Amino acid sequence: SLEKVFARLELGTVGSEVAGIFDGEWKNGAGSDVLTSRNPADGSTLATVKSATADQVKQVIAASKKAQREFAKVPAPKRGQIMRDLCDEYMRRKDALGALISYEMGKVLTEGKGEVQEVIDVADIAVGLSRSIKGNVLPSERPGHVIYEIPNPLGLVGIITAFNFPVAVHGWNFCLSFIAGNANIWKPSPTTPLTAIATTKLIVSVLERHNLPLALASLVCGDVETGQALTRDERVQMVSFTGSEKIGKVVAQDVAGRLGKTLLELGGNNAAIVFEDADLSIAVPGVAFAAIGTAGQRCTSTRRLLLHSKIADQFLDRLVKVYQGVRDKNLIGDPIQDGIMCGPLHSSAAVEKYWQTIEKIQATGGKVIFGPTSRQEGASVTASGKGGGNYVIPTICQPASSTDQVFQEEVFAPILNVAIFDTLEEAIELNNGVPQGLSSSLFTRSLENVGIWQGSLGSDCGIVNVNVSTSGAEVGAAFGGNKSTGWGRECGGDSWKQYSRWATSTVNSSNQMTLAQGVKFDA
């Protein structure tokens, strides 16, 4: 039960006020804003948390800065040993934390646990990296000289996360940033403070065990004022932001205004392309998972379905059967219950956006292929035993044309918009013809198509999959997107390099002062 989950995570009593600031000690926010953590399955209040004021954020930054100066003395492999313990702690708490994610965010339990697993996986990468975050040794053109490129800690990293992955996205950043030697200040989504508080408690328990300064894992719960105090403070060297394009722009400008670094993961408007030669037994469940899973609330969710004209009808027949199954076998429901495939939307505002989008598609000449055509119709299907929850039915629409405005926007709800194409070139043009560039999938059996899709004239997204869903990436490779998605890369690949302050050091061990580029200076 929820009470048990709260007890296991040391979160106090359900419904009570919980302290949402940590900088070595737990403090209550002094802001007038009160953040309410709600269970999206029934609208009930899980807890309230007071916002941190700008002054409080300044104090937290000072404490974290002090902590970082201590931590900078700890060798990277030693940081790795601490990370290994942290990884174990996430494993030990995986079920409880996964359940809290389900209660507070609304995703189904298997996905809540999967999200914690993503942190465990990144922590594994970070442990390994702690012995291999290597710089370079380069030959110098000058006799007796050597050039080094050395990674040092960056200093302070601000991590601002969204509601949809309330644990994983912080973990991706924290683990790499930690083994790079940084202190971190986390501002979670205003609607998922509890998972952030529980996660911080988990991390702090490990720091305590190692006698490390606790403000290496600081937390500031709050909304706009709290976030801006973090993004505008020049003591914070980098801000990693995950969220909407709209807020991302403000964050990017605030941080750029003081010439700080940003790492952005913003909107996705991801297309799955099903070519005429696709293996439909892979393509149908692949599309269904990415469009229905997490109730369409992943940055990587499939929002656009581009179908080759030759298989469009057949594909849609099969896909509609999957959607029907989810609706009619009562697989939309309380995310904490076994076997549920689609939980509620996170907020009632998202439900409203879902309806507005369906209405807009129909008002502009498009049609609903599967799902409710009106609020009345929707209500009659979802009302049964789902009192107060933000439930919607995963829906497939076909807008009037493939160039319709609705294809340009990311709507965080399970609405899949269909367009038909005849050639791969046309499909790639549609795929690339949106502002966002996070994820994309091509379902095909042709090697030639794969080459084009991955290559210079192919998909312009950061994730370019073949016969694999747009969502559900593994953390071993770099994760992130291009264009209005913000160009950031997190998790694997070379992502760790961004959390370091690089020093290029030319060392002269000869007894001559020699200049590069043949320049003469005879003093």
Binder to ligand UN1 among 15, 285, 435, 472 (CB under 6 A)?
472
Tell me the helices (H) and strands (E) count for the chain, helix number first. 15, 23
Residues near 416 by beta carbon (within 8 Å), at least 6 away in sequence: 287, 291, 296, 302, 303, 304, 305, 394, 395, 396, 397
Active site residue 265: yes
Stretch that binds ligand UN1, among 45-53, 161-169, 255-263, 496-504 (CB under 6 A): 161-169
Residue with tokens 């996986």: 121
Stretch that binds ligand UN1, among 2-10, 191-199, 331-339, 466-474 (CB under 6 A): 466-474
Residue 202 in 3-state DSSP?
Answer: helix
Distance CA(52)–CA(468), nearest Å, equals: 42
Q: Is 170 in the site for ligand UN1 (CB under 6 A)?
A: no
Q: Is 124 in the site for ligand UN1 (CB under 6 A)?
A: no
Stretch that binds ligand UN1, among 34-42, 82-90, 327-335, 470-478 (CB under 6 A): 470-478
- The 3-state secondary structure of 468-515, one letter per residue: CCCCCCCCCCEECCEECCCCCCEECCCHHHHHEEEEEEEEECCCCCCC
Binder to ligand UN1 among 6, 163, 165, 453 (CB under 6 A)?
165
Residue 164 or 498: the one with the smaller Cβ distance to ligand UN1 is: 164
Residue 6 or 172: the one with the smaller Cβ distance to ligand UN1 is: 172
Binder to ligand UN1 among 47, 57, 119, 299 (CB under 6 A)?
299
Q: What share of the chain is helix, strand, coil (3-state, %, to 5)?
A: 40, 20, 40
Residue 410 in 3-state DSSP?
Answer: coil
Residue 243 or 458: the one with the smaller Cβ distance to ligand UN1 is: 243
Q: Is 346 in the site for ligand UN1 (CB under 6 A)?
A: no
Catalytic residue among 265, 359, 426, 429: 265
Q: Which of 172, 104, 124, 109 is nearest to 473 (CA)?
A: 172
- The 3-state secondary structure of 27-88, one letter per residue: ECCCCCCEEEEECCCCCCEEEEEECCCHHHHHHHHHHHHHHHHHHCCCCHHHHHHHHHHHHH
Stretch that binds ligand UN1, among 32-40, 204-212, 296-304, 352-360 (CB under 6 A): 296-304
Q: Is 473 in the site for ligand UN1 (CB under 6 A)?
A: yes
Stretch that binds ligand UN1, among 67-75, 163-171, 221-229, 514-522 (CB under 6 A): 163-171
Would you list the DSSP string of 444-460? -S-HHHHHHHHSTTS--
Residue 361 or 475: the one with the smaller Cβ distance to ligand UN1 is: 475
Tokens representing 306? 């581009």
Residue 63 or 473: the one with the smaller Cβ distance to ligand UN1 is: 473
CB of 300 to ligand UN1, least distance (A): 4
φ, ψ at 450 (rounded to 5°): -60, -45
Asked whether the CA dihedral 277, 281, 286, 287 is positive or negative, the reply is: positive
User: In the stretch 82-121, what mask flags binding to ligand UN1 with x, by CB under 6 A?
Assistant: ------------------------------------x---
CB of 293 to ligand UN1, least distance (A): 8
CA 376 to chain centre: 34
Q: Is 500 in the site for ligand UN1 (CB under 6 A)?
A: no
Q: How far is CA 254 from CA 267, 315, 447, in A?
A: 19, 46, 45
Distance CA(429)–CA(459), nearest Å, equals: 8
Q: Contact 36/45 with Cβ under 8 angstroms? A: yes
Residue 165 or 370: the one with the smaller Cβ distance to ligand UN1 is: 165
Q: Is 164 in the site for ligand UN1 (CB under 6 A)?
A: yes
Residue 44 or 117: the one with the smaller Cβ distance to ligand UN1 is: 117
Binder to ligand UN1 among 39, 130, 300, 398 (CB under 6 A)?
300
Residue 454: how many other CB atoms lie within 10 Å = 13
Residue 369 in 3-state DSSP?
Answer: strand
Residue 388 or 472: the one with the smaller Cβ distance to ligand UN1 is: 472
φ, ψ at 340 (rounded to 5°): -65, 135
Distance CA(53)–CA(33), nearest Å, equals: 9
CB of 363 to ligand UN1, least distance (A): 29
Q: Is 161 in the site for ligand UN1 (CB under 6 A)?
A: no
Q: Is 202 in the site for ligand UN1 (CB under 6 A)?
A: no
**Count of residues touching ligand UN1 (by CB under 6 A):** 11
Binder to ligand UN1 among 298, 308, 327, 489 (CB under 6 A)?
298
Stretch that binds ligand UN1, among 229-237, 412-420, 451-459, 471-479 (CB under 6 A): 471-479
Q: Is 471 in the site for ligand UN1 (CB under 6 A)?
A: yes
* Site of interaction with ligand UN1 (CB under 6 A): 118, 164-165, 169, 242, 298-300, 471-473
Q: Catalytic residues, which ones?
A: 265
